């Protein structure tokens, strides 16, 4: 049975790379956590409020929906994104993407979501690349995202324009 995960990205260049390449990469120390991902699993892509370098202005938002398209494997050689090295990864297929600056703000929904049993310390659960979501949480976030999202092709350019790093805006 397929699972649904919040895929947590905390850097704009990483967000742009994931959306552009339709791949996800994970640090070596997290391989055990991410090895349970399987083709067909759903990912709700979450950009943290610090992803765009202005956490006082920006809000953490679910910005995309994707499907895992390949098993997680060791990357040889590892890939470097946003100055960090990643040792494993998988292909994904982005099926929905909110316009840049849009998406589903997560903080106001936390008290309603079972994935965050202690709303007072909910952000601690976002200090990892993946967070398994109960189906009722996934359905709620999926429905809210569908109200504001379009296709990857419609909205990708906005993310590439706002990403940091010299190679982020490379052509799709």
Mean pLDDT of 80-92: 91
Q: Cα 50 to chain center, whole Å?
A: 13
Q: How many angstroms separate the CA atoms of 79 and 8, rounded?
A: 18
108: confidence class by pLDDT, cuts 50, 70, 90? very high
**Does 35 have pLDDT greater than 90?**
no
Mean pLDDT of 133-153: 97
pLDDT at 34: 86
Q: Which fold would CATH assign to domain 4-164?
A: ph1033 like fold (3.10.590)
43 and 7 in contact (C-beta within 8 Å)?
A: yes
Range scoring the smallest mean pLDDT among 24-28, 107-111, 122-126, 139-143: 122-126
Q: Cα 49 to chain center, whole Å?
A: 12
pLDDT at 55: 62
pLDDT at 164: 54
Do strands 61-68 and 23-26 pair parallel, antiparallel, or not at all (unpaired)? unpaired
Q: How many angstroms separate the CA atoms of 165 and 59, rounded?
A: 21
169: confidence class by pLDDT, cuts 50, 70, 90? very low
The domain locations on the chain are 4-164
Q: How many angstroms separate the CA atoms of 55 and 50, rounded?
A: 5
């Amino acid at each position: 049975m397929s699972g649904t995960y919040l895929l947590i990205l905390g850097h704009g260049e990483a967000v742009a790379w994931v959306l552009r390449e339709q791949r996800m990469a994970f640090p070596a120390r997290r391989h055990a956590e991410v090895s349970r991902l399987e083709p067909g699993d759903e990912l709700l892509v979450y950009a943290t409020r610090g992803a765009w370098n202005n956490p006082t202005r920006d809000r953490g938002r679910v910005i995309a929906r994707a499907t895992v398209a390949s098993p997680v494997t060791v990357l040889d050689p590892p890939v470097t994104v946003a100055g960090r090295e990643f040792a494993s990864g998988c292909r994904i297929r982005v099926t929905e993407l909110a316009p840049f600056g849009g998406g589903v703000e997560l903080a106001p929904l936390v008290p309603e979501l079972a994935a965050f049993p202690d709303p007072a310390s909910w952000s601690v659960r976002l200090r990892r690349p993946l967070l398994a979501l109960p189906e009722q949480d996934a359905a709620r976030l999926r429905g809210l995202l569908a109200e504001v999202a379009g296709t990857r092709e419609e909205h990708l350019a906005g993310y590439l324009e706002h990403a940091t790093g010299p190679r982020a805006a490379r052509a799709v």
